[in-house]
Amino acid sequence: MADLAERRRHLVDELRSEGIRDERVLAALARVPREAFIPGEARDDAYRNSALPIGEQQTISQPFVVALMTQELSLTGAERVLEIGTGSGYQTAILAELSAEVVTVERHPSLLERARAVLDSLGYGAVELHLSNGSLGWPRGAPYDRILVTAASPDVPEPLLGQLGPRGRLVIPVGSTTQQDLLLVTREPDGVRSRKLGPVRFVPLVGQAGWHPSEDWPTANGG
């Protein structure tokens, strides 16, 4: 356990050196045990700064990407956050550390139940988890102060824009099956604005407002 804690601290120092500047985000990554969210032998690589497989052709996101996406949400602790793509539950736990409420949606039952079990075991039982198509968001709980999408879409899904509250911030990877940009979308009094944060590669956001399930999709390495 001491070795894992040391490796976690080293990873946090690495992320700081790579440009993550929000100390609250870095502190959250220092508290959350990433190894708990990784199945099987891949757990030995928990504190490598890379994406890792978690089953169902999905990945646990690269720690730098988790930190960057979380940082761009500009969380203060008072926000209601919608996460699209629960996956392993790791990003969910980071959001729970930094916000008032987290609602998360996952389309794979096996991943959702495993994430639920890990989150409960670590004391994140207040997170609201739903089995649903993420491209449609979770309208029952809208509006949200922040929305974070952990899968790539061909464009920003209209259902998610419709669930973003005033002054809200949405972070999402958008692009083709081979090249995507991470976008920060903000709802301002004069309309919706977007800004590119850098190139990424994520698994697809599958569903009515995302990609068709039969789309040919290469292996993700940045999501």
Write out the catalytic residue numbers.
61
Report how far apart the first and last C-alpha atoms of the chain are (Å, whole number): 27
Exposure b/e, 202-217, CB count within 10 A at least 16 = b: bbbbbbebbbeeeeeb
Counting every residue written for the chain, the total comes to: 223
Please tell me the distance from the alpha carbon of residue 76 to that of residue 87, in angstroms, as a whole number. 24
Q: Which of 61, 71, 58, 59 is nearest to 18 (CA)?
A: 71
